[in-house]
A and B are shown apart, each in its own frame.
Chain A
Amino acid sequence: MFEQFKTRATGVGAEVHRVGTCSDAVDFILGFMKKEGVSEVPGSYAVWADGPFLRGVARELLKQVPGLSTEVTRERAAQAKIGISEMSFAVADTGSLVQDQTAIDQRLASSLTGIHLAIVPSANIVSDKTALFSRISPKTSRYIAFITGPSRTADIERVLTIGVHGPERLIILFVDELGGAA
């Protein structure tokens, strides 16, 4: 299903990566922030929304990154180049990511920023919406968010253009070691 997901997601402009271990993932993320020039300058911040993966990352490591905060406020997110969040599920047939985003930091990090970097447990790829809704339900989640590729529009002359109100890039990072527990 990973391959199908990857085809679909890249088809709509997402960038899909996969690593084995959590420490590989941390390396990837730190490297990515560095490459994108995250710094303590408005517009170049990074925000990282709470999640089980983040809780496992050593704080000292994160403190070394200037401009990164795990305290996701609207001011901070609005000036962030990169927003990092953990998405619980990947839906193979449409290339979508899905998460309970009731906690507002999840939404701020994935909607106000220029780039959204999403961390997904590799074992949580489901085939389609029917399979998905057996795992996540509006009965227990107040704000279920589907994200499929970057923000897009075709409102001017029907020309597909990326990055209107939401992120203009979506980077998806599958981590095998995170297993399948959502």
Chain B
Amino acid sequence: MKKEFKASINRALNDANLTGALGKFSEAYRVNRAKAYEGIDFEALRGRIAEAKSSAACHLDEVAEVFKQNAEALGAKVYRTSDPEQVKEYILQVARDNGVKSVVKSKSMASEEIHLNKALLQAGISVAETDLGEWIIQLAGQTPSHMVMPAIHLTKEEVAEIFSKEVEERLDSDIPRLVKVARNELRPKFLAADMGISGANIAVAETGSIVLVTNEGNARLTTTLPRIHVALVGVEKLVEKFETVIPVLDALPRSATAQLLTSYVSIITGPSPNDDGSLKDLHIILMDNRRTEMARDPKFKQALQCIRCGSCLNVCPIFRLVGGHVFGKIYTGGIGTILTAWFDELQKSEEIQGLCIQCGNCTEVCPGKLDIPEMILEIRRRLVLEKGQPLAQKAIFSVVNNRKLFHGMLRAASVAGKPFTSGKFIRHLPLFLSDLTDGRSLPAIAEKPFRDLFPEIRQPKGGEKAVFYAGCLIDFAYPETGIALVKLLNKAGIEVIFPQEQTCCGAPALYNGAYEVAAHNAVDNIKALLEVEAKYVVSACPTCTVALAHDFAKTLQDQGRSEWLDKAKELAEKTVDLSTLVKRLVEEGRLSFAEGEDLGKITYHDSCHLKRTLKVSQEPRELLQKAGYELAEMYECDMCCGMGGSYSMKLPEISAPILKRKLHNIKETGAPLVAMDCPGCVMQIRGGFDQDGEAVRVRHTAELLAERLK
């Protein structure tokens, strides 16, 4: 990672105003959003939005043409172009033809995307942003730090400072006063402007309407007072039917600002009268700038379903730490990374794509049903295709690609790592692995990996069989978790099979864009795991479970190895995570826990992949309670712990504060014990407490349950 990028991250992390404001906002947002959606079936709502927007994206060209015809029939002038330069030229031409000297703008991200203000100013036309946040950053000469709240990084004192310069008068930092100043300063600009430039939140093809959603009232003035109105609209705003306006208006304000509806919504369908009796000169520019190309790309077409609500930023554990500026000048956060990669260029996303820790929080709240982490992985993959894997990573993956070599080196590490072992933790793993597992305090490589311990376990024979997929961490660092799993299943009369040929699940390679390595891992594992007849393939690592149940097939398909697809599907169907399986066994009466003992308080940490990809969250809680623990929920129980595979090593400055927050939330419950279903989280959180010195025990659910078997 480049120095400047790391420097910008550090600047953001050390900006107490920014992290404070964003942190508080994200906490309040979660509560307020939930309240705003009370009584609404969010899944159904976003289903309607995604379907309508996806359908428009499938026929973008036709839909744009229908819009053009309908809006023009009403007297609007519609200009379609894919080239940002032509957009600017068109607007400048309209300005020249009409002797425009001053422009007022209500928020338009498309105009920022093409740096329209600069072009207008160069042509000698004055431009005022009128959205309060946008005006503040215009005066400050900055760029927006959030899609919906562009000036969230500035304090009221800083705003007072900026306004004082503008009005040449010392202002204090009273917020209502500052807002008044903005009203009074901008009002004459509205009244004098020759041209108003707006964006649009929705453009409806069947009626030729544009819909503007605002709170301040600036869009109403922008579209009413100047005699010329130019609406600059990205083609992703197009929908076919007017009826789609309803779900978008239901979701956009709720998701953006937790409002039931914004103060103002304007639906403009053709030109309306000006106050001098003339008809508005209404220009609607449908701007493409690679959106059509995006719509044709099967992996990125879904990005056109975005309604720019910004809620993906509000729930992102990374965004709330670093804010928007780290991401670049216009679009921010995970969605911003994707838009930048397309609207600007792929290379521009090279560093920022690495900011996503793949926690999946955004996918839960996105009203457009975008899978942002998946698209970011795809960007990662394409970057690797274009530029090749970095040398160090290449070396690692060439090892991971070869099971014998890989496992040999892990064994060697258990010996080589010895001198550095402090208690259960070592500071540095041998270099070749550090890129995979380095972090805070790391677990020692176990003296004997699970694969060597397994043959010594005596098991009941002849009953049901389950294949155990251990994954690297359980196999080589936490064999005790594997032993616990065997104990649990044995108790229910299930014999556990451990195929020795199993290897890394490929997730590290996949998450670093090395798809061919991931595909190779997938094939090796499919062969190993399907070799024996068994009812289940069970794993106690959610990341591995996701690999087996979801990723293998996708990766193999992607790499053109379709001969393996049937087998991948067969494996996926058999795959189950430990908690789900144990719960089933308990319900069937095949497993039960010792009763009568009060084990005290426990808190539970939801692992990202388990909760959001596998949708498992109640099962481990119920089991732990059945086993005799009293559950004390922590704040933000399903927020990422900051591990994210190699993330904690690449961006330790971001991972560390996320972990710190998690440790704090755990401690706040007062429980002496925290359970989780993921060995990666165990490594991160146990390592954190090890350094922190707090005596909170960190255990995998499997181990806690195995201790309580009747």
Contacts and interface: CB of A to CB of B under 8 A. Distances in A.
Interface of A: 8, 12, 73-74, 78, 93-96, 102-104, 107-108, 111-112, 129-130, 133, 137-139, 141-159, 161-167
Contacts of A142: 74, 268-272
Contacts of B152: 158
B702 interface: no
> Is chain A's interface secondary structure helix, strand, loop, or mixed overall?
loop
A153 B260 contact: no
Given A74-B275, A103-B273, A156-B159, A161 B217 contact: no
B225 interface: yes
A8 B260 contact: yes
12 contacts: A12-B259, A93-B260, A145-B264, A149-B263, A150-B263, A152-B216, A156-B156, A158-B28, A158-B152, A159-B156, A161-B175, A163-B179
Interface stretch (B127-135, B545-553, B557-565): B127-135
A159 B131 CA distance: 15
Contacts of A151: 215-217, 263-264
Given A148-B262, A156-B178, A164-B182, A111 B21 contact: no
A162 to B, nearest CB: 8
Contact of B224 (A104, A141, A167): A104
Contact of A78 (B176, B187, B264, B265): B187
B436 interface: no
Given A74-B275, A145-B220, A148-B263, A157 B132 contact: no
A78 B190 CA distance: 11
Contact of B183 (A12, A95, A158, A164): A164
Interface in B217-264: 217-218, 220-221, 224-225, 242-243, 245-246, 249-250, 257, 259-264
Given A74-B225, A129-B249, A155 B136 contact: yes
Nearest to A73: B275
B274 interface: yes
B420 interface: no
A165 B204 contact: no
Contact of A111 (B221, B246, B261, B269): B221
B175 to A, nearest CB: 5
Given A155-B150, A159-B175, A146 B264 contact: yes
Contact of B186 (A96, A112, A157, A165): A165
Given A102-B272, A151-B217, A146 B175 contact: no
Contact of B264 (A112, A147, A154, A158): A147
Interface string B147-178: 00111101110010000000000000001101
B384 to A, nearest CB: 39
B156 A94 contact: no
Interface in B123-143: 130-133, 136
A79 to B, nearest CB: 11
Interface in B619-651: none
B209 interface: yes
Given A156-B132, A158-B25, A164 B179 contact: yes
Given A104-B275, A155-B136, A146 B261 contact: yes
